[in-house]
Amino acid sequence: MRHAAILPSVLAFATLLLARTPAYAWSWWALRFISIDLLPVAVPLGLLGAATAARVGRTRFAALGLFAALSSALLLAPLAQTLSDDHVSISLVRWLGADQGAPVPFRADVPIGHDLLADVYGQAGDAPKPCVIVIHGGSWARGDKGEGVAASRALANAGAIVVDLRYRLAPAHPFPAGLHDVLYTLAAVRSGVIPGVDPARVTFLGRSAGGHLALLAGAGANRSDLAPPDLGPQAPPAAVVALYPPVDLAWSWNHLMDPDLTDTHTTLTDFVGGRLDKVPALYNLASPNMIAGSDAPPALVLFGQAEQVVSPAQAAFVAQAWQAAGRPVETGALPLFDHGLDARRGSVGGQWAEARTLRFLRANGAL
């Protein structure tokens, strides 16, 4: 009984500790990620632990539970303020995973030309629908379509047709192969390969490396030096949403995260096709902030403030470049949260990202 009484205090403190401790390995990072998601639970759990431990005379564990509860509440205060400022309400039902959204029509491995396949959510209606092309993350070298399935369903439930793309990966296919695949997909969707799409309302949504490709393809769609030779320049998409993307690749090379969980120099060398000192011009060409012009699409860039994979400072590079070009841009940073903040749709990060994305697309006539 005495051991059981101290368990809530121990669990609350462990959650707090993991949520606040920098990770130095991917396994540790995964535990930290889960703890951040569970931190709201540490408040009532710590208070429960304080009460149960005090009841059996375990005063140190009562103090530990109270400390965990109060510290967690203090950490959650800026998060609550950001949600209030952004007018985002968090659903407890969704946080608990009880509401996954209505089912939507789904087709896997749909050919869209140029040996590319995509998963498609939603279907044609009485009137042409907006389309969101989803571009997965994975340091340009890993990952596949199927990332963020719940978010794709949410977009389809909001009235879009979602095309979740599989693109070519580095190092076998370095820059600009993945970019070309995104631009091929944009052209194919506009040409009617997916029935029911409004060609004037095709947008990109990318995560991590996919967010980089979304911004780059959006800003560079009309550039002959970035367009596939057999396609040529085309009109940019209606809008771009980029979640926790690397943006300025030369800056990323020179400003490594600590710890550098993704081995940035190897990752960038594999993607760009060489080291920064060997091909600096390619690093500039592959950086969305370096090429944004007066027809860059409206952009939304979202980060977690506690990023350990891609620096949140990258959002400022997009803001500066888009503003200098006179183009609409929004950025947002969510306290406590790390890379992949929307990995679980029902999490606070997932609900915040979804609300910001839907609002942005609607405000820009893209949804």
Q: 150 and 14 in one domain?
A: no
Residue 258: which residues within 8 A CB-CB, separation 6 or more?
none
Q: 185 and 66 in one domain?
A: no
Residue 265 scores a pLDDT above 70 = yes
CA 351 to chain centre: 12
Q: 250 and 181 in one domain?
A: yes
Tokens of 253: 């090379």
Residue 238 scores a pLDDT above 70 = yes
Q: 270 and 201 in one domain?
A: yes
CATH code assigned at 276: 3.40.50.1820
C-alpha to C-alpha distances, 182 to 42, 98, 218, 243, 258, nearest whole angstrom: 42, 34, 10, 16, 31
> What pLDDT was estimated at residue 8?
87
Q: 110 and 6 in one domain?
A: no
Residue 307 scores a pLDDT above 70 = yes
- Residue 334: φ, ψ to 5°: -100, 120
> What pLDDT was estimated at residue 102?
78
Q: 149 and 58 in one domain?
A: no
> What pLDDT was estimated at residue 234?
96
Q: 134 and 164 in one domain?
A: yes
Residue 1 scores a pLDDT above 60 = no
Q: 301 and 203 in one domain?
A: yes
Q: Would residue 90 count as lying in a domain?
A: no
Q: Would residue 94 count as lying in a domain?
A: no
22-45 pLDDT, tens digit per residue, is 888 888 888 898 999 999 999 999
CA–CA gap between residue 283 and residue 298 (Å, rounded): 23
Domain region containing 63 = 2-85
Amino acid in position 90? I
CA–CA gap between residue 123 and residue 163 (Å, rounded): 11
Q: Do residues 162 and 122 make contact, with C-beta atoms less than 8 angstroms apart? A: yes
Residue 20: which residues within 8 A CB-CB, separation 6 or more?
75
Q: 153 and 25 in one domain?
A: no
- 301-329 mean pLDDT: 97
State the pairing for strand pair 117-121/329-334: unpaired
117-168 pLDDT, tens digit per residue, is 999 999 988 899 999 999 999 999 999 999 889 999 999 999 999 999 999 9
Residue 315: which residues within 8 A CB-CB, separation 6 or more?
247, 301, 302, 303, 331, 333
Residue 170 scores a pLDDT above 60 = yes
Q: 299 and 202 in one domain?
A: yes
Residue 251 scores a pLDDT above 60 = yes
